[in-house]
Amino acid sequence: MNTKLSMVLRILLGLILVIFGANKFLDFMPHMEMPKAAGDFMMAMMATGYMLKLLGATEVIVGLLLLTKKWNGLALVVLAPISVNMVFFHLSLAPAGIGPAAIVTLINALLIYDNWGKYKGLFE
């Protein structure tokens, strides 16, 4: 992949993660309407007292790692199950919001592909 395109995607993904991760702590964005099952799922995660905070902290840390170009390989691997879960959440519970989740997952997959050399040892 083109180095400049990779940099733009890395920065875009980092910004998305920092903003949406921070929102889980600071609640500065309006809440979107969700179907009942999706709302129930989110309420259950909030009721744990830690799950949304853990997710938000992970998103912020991964976003900052991508923005500072530190440990990108690790950051992208940590983000992979989160981004896949975002897609499945929207596919099964809130299809109207699939766009942003699909974008995050696609960028994550493209950046993993672009950094594939860092992961070869995992598959030997």
Q: What is the pLDDT of residues 66-90, one digit of tens each?
A: 999 999 999 999 999 999 999 999 9
pLDDT score of 54 = 95
Q: Are 9 and 111 in contact (CB under 8 A)?
A: yes
> What are the residue ranges in the chain where pLDDT is below 50?
none
pLDDT score of 121 = 85
pLDDT score of 2 = 87
DSSP secondary structure string, 27-61?
--SPPPP--HHHHHHHHHHHHTSSHHHHHHHHHHH
From the CB of residue 45, how many other CB atoms can be counted at a distance below 10 Å? 16
Q: Is pTM beyond 0.85 here?
A: yes
Q: Are 13 and 72 in contact (CB under 8 A)?
A: no
pLDDT score of 27 = 86
Q: Are 73 and 119 in contact (CB under 8 A)?
A: yes
